[in-house]
Structure 1
Amino acid sequence: MDVAGTVVRFAARDVSVNVTIVDDNATTRDFLSMLPMTLSFEDYNGMEKITYPPRGFTTTGNTGMKPEVGDLFSFIPWSNLGFFYETGSLGFSDKLVRIGKTDDIEGIMKLDGQQVTISAVGK
């Protein structure tokens, strides 16, 4: 079954952010296989809200990406999970893999410092 289009909810006390999985690939399938999980997000470099899942993601076949605001991604060397809320002058990187996309930037900002439950909610 193709996982593109699956909606994943990031929910904390006062915020709920829905993300749509953009591609059906090894990383997105591996991410979805870990759900549900609860993680704590923190700010990184004034551009990202990041967290560290219990293990790294499978990245077989990753072709890289050019970051865009609202991207849910993993930075392969750190095996983290994050959202870009700013991209500045960042360009294409083969060390990034896009998992999903949201337009709820205000919601992303509220994830900082919270315990966030991540779960798939359907297509």
Structure 2
Amino acid sequence: MKILTAVCVMALLVIASAAWADAPKRVKFTWSGGEAVAELNGSPSAESLWAMLPVTVDFKDFNGVERIAYTEKELSAEGAPESCTPDAGTLALYAPWGNLSVFYKPFRESRGLVPLGRFVEGADKVSTLGEAVRIERME
């Protein structure tokens, strides 16, 4: 009976671990204006962002539709699509310049824009991203 119980517990742990591994990775953005949570899409580019976390970056407005920031380490654009049409709430990498892009308004299809994920909480606040934004894993 003890062996059967141990086997059942082990099986449940394996199933729970597999479900956790398949769950989307989430990252939290924290700044003086609030918090927001983005869900990464599992691409090699998103994985390269995940690998460098935590980081603190400064965001600035760009083109009246997005906030951009540069990380110290360059993100991978390996296997990335040639373009992306971002909606409000899109988290992306602009590969030609190497910057993170957080869209607070929809924008046209853009070559070199690599989607990393979407904001699932606080998307209405990302237009206020500013200096000293902490980006960290949610585990």
Q: TM-score range by the shorter chain?
A: 0.7 to 0.9
8 Å CA contact 1:4–1:21 kept in 2: the answer is: no
Whole-angstrom CA distance in 2 between matches of 1:81 and 1:51:
5
Matched, 1:7 2:20: no
Whole-angstrom CA distance in 1 between matches of 2:48 and 2:80:
13
Match of 1:53 among 43, 66, 71: 71
Greater shift after overlay, 40-49 or 57-66?
57-66
Query: Aligned partner of 1:96: which letter?
Result: L
Alignment partner, residue 114 of structure 1? 131
User: TM-score by structure 2 length?
Assistant: 0.77
List aligned pairs for 1:12-31, cutoff 5 A.
12-22=31-41, 24-31=42-49
| Structure showing the higher helix proportion among its residues | 2
Whole-angstrom CA distance in 2 between matches of 1:98 and 1:3:
19
Aligned residues: 118
User: TM-score by structure 1 length?
Assistant: 0.86
Whole-angstrom CA distance in 1 between matches of 2:88 and 2:127:
12
Query: Aligned partner of 2:51: which letter?
Result: S
Cα gap change, 1:4/1:100 in structure 2, threshold over 3 Å: closer, same or farther? farther
Greater shift after overlay, 13-22 or 33-42?
13-22
1:4: Cα distance to partner?
A: 6.2
Match of 1:98 among 111, 115, 136: 115
1:6: Cα distance to partner?
A: 0.8
**Higher RCO (C-alpha 8 Å, min separation 6):** 1
Q: CA RMSD in A?
A: 1.9
1:60: Cα distance to partner?
A: 1.0
Cα gap change, 1:95/1:3 in structure 2, threshold over 3 Å: closer, same or farther? farther
Greater shift after overlay, 72-81 or 49-58?
49-58
1:3: Cα distance to partner?
A: 7.1
